[in-house]
Amino acid sequence: MAFKELVFSGVQPTGNLHLGNYLGAIVNFVKLQSRYECIYCVVDMHAITVWQEPAELRKSIREVAAAFIAAGIDPKAHIVFNQSQVPEHAELAWVFNCVARLGWMNRMTQFKEKAGKDRENASLGLYAYPSLMAADILVYRATHVPIGEDQKQHLELTRDIAQKFNNDFKAQIETAGFADGLFFPMAEPVITGPATRVMSLRDGTKKMSKSDPSDYSRINLADDADTIAQKIKKAKTDPEPLPSEEKGLEGRPEADNLVGIYAALAGSTPAQVLSEYGGGQFSTFKGALIDLAVDKLGPVGAEMKRLTSDVTYIDGILADGSARARALASETMRHVKQIVGFVGP
Ligand code: TYM
């Protein structure tokens, strides 16, 4: 069966949206709008898998929604909402908890990283996190999922869950009227552009992350022009001039990262960036990167701040998006309940 093409993705409201989130994910969310119907979600239930101060969480949810809109997502033509307003996500996640195997969960590298050494003290929610992520995507039977490189393993798990559900319930799926026994699609990751894995500005071997204690490791979407300039000036580099060809970036993680960031912001490629700046000193290149970053990110950050303070507007968008999302999700859950063997209308 051909599934209707539909894009779904989510971002956690855990503070400090950064350049990695923007270039790795949000920029692609914006691009996909012209080709597909899109659903973009502020995944607040994922956020509470680690402790969130309630007042901060509320602020961050609105901030991520504001960032989506400031970046160019149209909440009228598409859907922007927060996960907790659509209870079908949690409902399907429970079903998936009973489909996914412990062995699959045990392989998830993100859980290992986030739980760290004190694994016994991690929440059960953090462990089951990928099952909720699969539910986010599959409750809309979405076919395309724009994400950064770090979410690839979770997408593979989503496909495993979809496949096992389809296999386990093949007969019931056919009885429910899905002739070829396929209820859930094999959602495809969309990982594109020169910045699918933006690295820390302080250490080119570490991912740029919200949880890095050093604010100099990342550029936040809310940073003003001076802060952006300071952070790029202080960004770690190596003593060699920039290479003229892309293969010269091998073994030079910081140079590779800055060139990738430039290419992503300029909408070009690393090869094009090097054809212009290759052979030159980092200081010249950094100056150009500062101008470009301020030019591209400044207006997004300013609009995000403006929208975040308009609580009525943002809450209205989220309520409207949630109602539209729920209409779709409840339809899927109606079938799932029938397929699994629950009794109800
Ligand atoms: P989150 O909130 O950590 O990140 C949001 C998006 O930003 C991408 N990203 C990066 N891309 C490039 N370089 C980086 N340094 C970088 N850091 C983050 C992430 O890959 C992601 O696309 N589990 C997800 C949220 C989620 C989700 C979903 C995504 C929940 N349900 C369903 C897609 C579909 C997460 O924690 O993303």
Residue of minimum CA distance from atom 26 in ligand 1: 10
Q: Decide: 136 in ligand 1 pocket, CB within 6 A.
A: yes
How far apart are the C-alpha atoms of 345 and 118, rounded to whole Å?
45
| Phi, psi angles (nearest 5°) of residue 11 | -135, 135
Q: In what order do the strands lie in the sheet with 37-42?
A: 79-82, 37-42, 6-11, 144-146, 188-190
Q: Decide: 334 in ligand 1 pocket, CB within 6 A.
A: no
- Out of 59, 114, 170, 296, pick the active-site residue: 114
- Whole-angstrom Cα Rg for the chain: 21
For Cα atoms 56, 155, 261, give the angle at the middle one, nearest 5 degrees. 65
Which atom of ligand 1 is nearest to 196's Cα?
12
Quote the pTM value: 0.97
Distances from the Cα of 88 to the Cαs of 76, 228, 339, 342, in angstroms? Answer: 22, 40, 16, 15
Set out the domains of the chain in order of their start, with CATH numbers.
6-196+310-340 (3.40.50.620), 215-306 (1.10.240.10)
Residue 246 half-sphere exposure, CB side, CA atoms within 13 Å?
A: 8
Cα 211 to its chain centre, rounded Å, is: 15
Q: Enter the DSSP assignment of 220.
A: B
- Tell whether residue 312 is among the known ligand binding residues: no
Which run of H or E residues covers position 58? helix 54-71
Which atom of ligand 1 is nearest to 146's Cα?
22
pLDDT digits (tens, 9 = 90+) for 281-291: 999 999 999 99
Count the Cβ atoms, other than its own, within 10 Å of residue 8: 24
| Phi, psi angles (nearest 5°) of residue 9 | -155, 165
The question of whether 114 is a catalytic residue gets the answer: yes
Distances from the Cα of 340 to the Cαs of 107, 172, 291, in angstroms? Answer: 27, 8, 56
- In the prediction, which pLDDT does 180 show? 85
pLDDT digits (tens, 9 = 90+) for 303-323: 999 999 999 999 999 999 999
- Tell whether residue 148 is among the known ligand binding residues: yes
In tens digits, what is the pLDDT along the chain, a chain of 345 residues?
A: 579 999 999 999 998 899 999 999 999 999 999 999 999 999 999 999 999 999 999 999 999 999 999 999 999 999 999 999 999 999 999 999 999 999 999 999 999 999 998 899 999 999 999 999 999 999 999 999 999 999 999 999 999 999 999 999 999 999 999 978 899 999 999 999 999 999 999 999 999 999 899 999 999 999 999 999 999 999 999 999 999 999 999 999 999 999 999 999 999 999 999 999 999 999 999 999 999 999 999 999 999 999 999 999 999 999 999 999 999 999 999 999 999 999 987
For residue 334, report the distance from its CA to the centre of ligand 1, in Å: 29
- In the prediction, which pLDDT does 1 show? 57
- In the prediction, which pLDDT does 65 show? 98
Q: What is the C-alpha end-to-end distance of the chain, expressed in Å?
A: 26
Phi-psi sector, 267: left (phi>0), alpha (psi -120 to 50), beta: left
Q: Decide: 147 in ligand 1 pocket, CB within 6 A.
A: yes
Q: Which residue has the tokens 């496909």?
A: 159
The question of whether 305 is a catalytic residue gets the answer: no
Which atom of ligand 1 is nearest to 208's Cα?
15
